[in-house]
Amino acid sequence: MLTERFDDRERPLDPRVKITWRIFGTLGWLFPLGGASVLGYFLLDGPLRWLPLTVALVVVVLSATWYPGARYRRWRWQLTDLALEMRYGVIVHRHEAVPYFRVQQIDIERGPVDRLLGLATLQVTTASASGSGALPGISEEQAPLVRQELLLRAAEAIGDHMGDVNDAV
């Protein structure tokens, strides 16, 4: 059983998530931008032919150094009394609110890098595919607790509506 309930303060992610982002961010940019710089070098004329390569280098270096940290600093999640709220995004600031009452399913997902680092991602699914959220960078000890907390709150929310609007869709 749970020893303590989660309060509603804003929480950061586990700092180790930066390593995951650094690896996948760099690899993710390397392939498309590598191809683009080769293409650019052969297709363009004059000094412009070095432009794609320069841009690619800058992007890859940034995604390996600055971006994961900035992303980590922006990430906040919070269990308010109504919803799981997530605020994140460096270039585009996002704010997602998933009410407990609407939660249909919660998955714990762990990729190979996540497993090495002892991290997990919580996938929170609602009846709307676009309105479902993912909470990355939760330590593997905490992930089941967060999931249990979310399920408990979802059950409570549905219990409050029994016989009234008990069907979320």
Residues contributing to the site for another protein (CB under 8 A): 43-46, 48, 82-83, 85, 89, 91-102, 126-133, 157, 160-161, 164-165, 167-169
Residues ≥6 apart with Cβ < 8 Å to 54 = none
| Nearest distance in Å: CB 23, another protein | 26
Q: Which is nearer to another protein, 97 or 113 (CB)?
A: 97
Q: What are phi and psi of 83, to 5 degrees?
A: -150, 160
Q: Which is nearer to another protein, 65 or 166 (CB)?
A: 166
Contact 79, 8 (CB under 8 A): yes
| Nearest distance in Å: CB 64, another protein | 22
- d(C-alpha 46, C-alpha 152), whole Å: 64
Amino acid letter at 136?
A: P
Q: Which is nearer to another protein, 38 or 44 (CB)?
A: 44
